Chains A and B, each alone.
Chain A
């Protein structure tokens, strides 16, 4: 059958659409003139200005701290949840599954405002700790989903084999299941980390004074700061992302 080429052209068009703005911004980050309507000559001054900004490093520190702690917490909680969902088919698990699914479809702004109202109602002081709680809340679901996906092709007979050979149930889970699903747990953790470090909306609602994370700082720069410095930041982000992706892809291929 003669296949239509249209889908392929649409795909290529979509990729151009995805990348064009990013490329323009990178090019612009070396441009002397603001907004890049014209080429005003090559410069690195936006980058040097970016690196001399102390607040950005402070915000990055906050982001990393929250991302690391909430990743570890949500890896533990998400994995236990996934194991429970995988293993037990009770009414309790139907509720559990619903609880895990809901945060995935809830718009960020609702998660943010609900937590803000909750914290305000309980008179909890907003700050890094409330951000941490919020991040774990939405990361749990993602980790659980990724680990559960990995567990789909896990054959429970292996656990029975371990018990048959004298391991108690917790020991069988620890010594056999966990090592086997470690790649899934790591993938879930990686996803949680990127979601946490990337999150703006929820963080925006539950942050307090002095707890600016990198996205919050970027937002204030977009609103009030020099766009050229953000161009430079974009350049760094993109290069960093591509490097990480390439390295991790290489590592995965070697395995």
Chain B
């Protein structure tokens, strides 16, 4: 059941450039599976291999038990929603949607009936005879989806389908896509560089970088428990700390971070042995920031620092707190605005604390991934909606 669409050890190079390096994925029937990664990570090439526009140098694509690796695009039961829609500009909406069925050789009346149904699905029955070029971005998007879906593909490939739309429309289309997916129940393979899109629509996410899969799992797994610095930094924002494990306590471990007075206790899910030098990722919203020292607890870590920067974001406030060499990003929502509590100000000495279960030891760390993070003096004016994607 879990192996409806399988990529098996796919490698692909364009000249000297290795775009895909031994990529294997397995996608469950009826789900929305996202491939998320920065531009140039190879995600689009993987999608094009699935559609049949490229052929891998090595590896196989298996769809529903059949090897389709070298089938031509027109022989695969796979359809694509292209990045810029690629509607046929010389045809009307109706002609665009019926193209696939015409190619398959269905008779006129059957085609016409089907097209009507799909026009209704995308709520565009009244626009059927408009030229494709006369549509708005959102309408083009819907036509592109209907044009692909009408062929009842086994897998629908979506290549950055919302990239060309503006923000509000993107959010609306996302909901609509989800709804269409529920309606037709076809497997979606969704390629995007926008983690917000991937998080909200997918059942499963594979994070890709430089032609490899960095991590795959449900959106929650990928966000909450990133396995390496790339995933941690690419999805959302985080703080990295370099440490050494000093002792093991059951499934927890104790470690020293330079400039942190006390030892830090961390959940050791990967069973690193004592003495390992490791990197730690802590998401900014996992911290609690306060004037007063919080109640101490066996699994709570606390450190003191000086507030260097405060950025008010509406939905929350970002604090940059200096602790020795580290500048730690802390996010706090301000549900206590109306209380008389003293407000944290620039230059205050504060306590920041976090729970041992709320930080993750990374398998792998690469200093270059830090460039994916927000820097303290970066755009202060980012709109609140963008914050979730600020990590990229």
Chain A residues in contact with chain B, CB under 8 A? Answer: 155, 157-158, 160-168, 171, 176, 179-180
Residues of A within 8 A of B88 (CB): 158, 161-162, 176, 180
Q: Which 7 A-B pairs have the closest CB atoms?
A: A166-B103, A165-B100, A161-B86, A163-B73, A157-B86, A179-B90, A164-B80
Residues of A within 8 A of B52 (CB): 163-164
Q: Please tell me which one of the listed residues A163, A179, A180 contacts residue B74 in the complex, with CB atoms under 8 A apart.
A: A163
Q: Is there an interface contact between B148 and A164, defined as CB atoms closer than 8 Å?
A: yes
Task: Kindly state whether residue B252 has any CB partner on chain A within 8 Å.
Answer: no
How far, in Å, is B135 (CB) from chain A's closest CB?
15
Q: Is there an interface contact between A180 and B79, defined as CB atoms closer than 8 Å?
A: no
How far, in Å, is A140 (CB) from chain B's closest CB?
25
Q: What separation, in Å, do the CA atoms of A158 and B133 have in the docked complex?
A: 13
Q: A161-B86, A165-B99 are in contact. List 15 more A-B contacts (CB 8 A).
A: A155-B84, A157-B84, A158-B89, A161-B82, A161-B88, A163-B53, A163-B72, A163-B73, A164-B51, A165-B74, A166-B74, A166-B100, A166-B103, A176-B90, A180-B88
Residues of B within 8 A of A164 (CB): 51-52, 73-74, 78-80, 148
Q: What separation, in Å, do the CA atoms of A166 and B103 have in the docked complex?
A: 6
Q: How large is the interface on B (under 10, 10 to 19, 20 to 34, 35 or more residues)?
A: 20 to 34
Q: Is there an interface contact between B82 and A165, defined as CB atoms closer than 8 Å?
A: no
Indicate whether A157 sits within 8 Å of B82 (C-beta atoms), given known contacts A166-B151, A168-B74.
Answer: yes
- Identify the closest chain B residue to A159 (Cβ): B86
Which of chain B's residues 50-96 have a Cβ closer than 8 Å to chain A?
51-53, 72-74, 78-80, 82-84, 86-90
Q: What separation, in Å, do the CA atoms of A171 and B72 have in the docked complex?
A: 14
Q: Is there an interface contact between B86 and A167, defined as CB atoms closer than 8 Å?
A: no
A-B contacts counted at CB < 8 A amount to 63
Task: Kindly state whether residue B147 has any CB partner on chain A within 8 Å.
Answer: yes
Q: Is there an interface contact between B80 and A161, defined as CB atoms closer than 8 Å?
A: yes
8 interchain pairs, CB-CB under 8 A: A155-B86, A157-B83, A160-B82, A165-B151, A166-B74, A166-B103, A168-B74, A176-B90
Task: Kindly state whether residue B17 has any CB partner on chain A within 8 Å.
Answer: no
Q: Is there an interface contact between A171 and B86, defined as CB atoms closer than 8 Å?
A: no
Tell me which of A160, A161, A180 has the highest count of chain B C-beta atoms within 10 A of its own C-beta. Answer: A161
Chain B residues in contact with chain A, CB under 8 A? Answer: 51-53, 72-74, 78-80, 82-84, 86-90, 99-100, 103-104, 147-148, 151
- Identify the closest chain B residue to A166 (Cβ): B103
- Identify the closest chain B residue to A160 (Cβ): B53
How far, in Å, is B84 (CB) from chain A's closest CB?
7
How far, in Å, is A52 (CB) from chain B's closest CB?
49
Q: Is there an interface contact between A165 and B53, defined as CB atoms closer than 8 Å?
A: no
Residues of A within 8 A of B84 (CB): 155, 157
How far, in Å, is A150 (CB) from chain B's closest CB?
13
- Identify the closest chain A residue to B89 (Cβ): A180
Residues of A within 8 A of B80 (CB): 160-161, 164
Indicate whether A165 sits within 8 Å of B90 (C-beta atoms), given known contacts A157-B84, A160-B53.
Answer: no
Q: What separation, in Å, do the CA atoms of A165 and B100 have in the docked complex?
A: 5
Q: What separation, in Å, do the CA atoms of A31 and B163 have in the docked complex?
A: 69
How far, in Å, is A89 (CB) from chain B's closest CB?
12
How far, in Å, is B11 (CB) from chain A's closest CB?
22
How far, in Å, is A88 (CB) from chain B's closest CB?
15
Tell me which of B51, B83, B99, B148 has the highest count of chain A C-beta atoms within 10 A of its own C-beta. Answer: B99
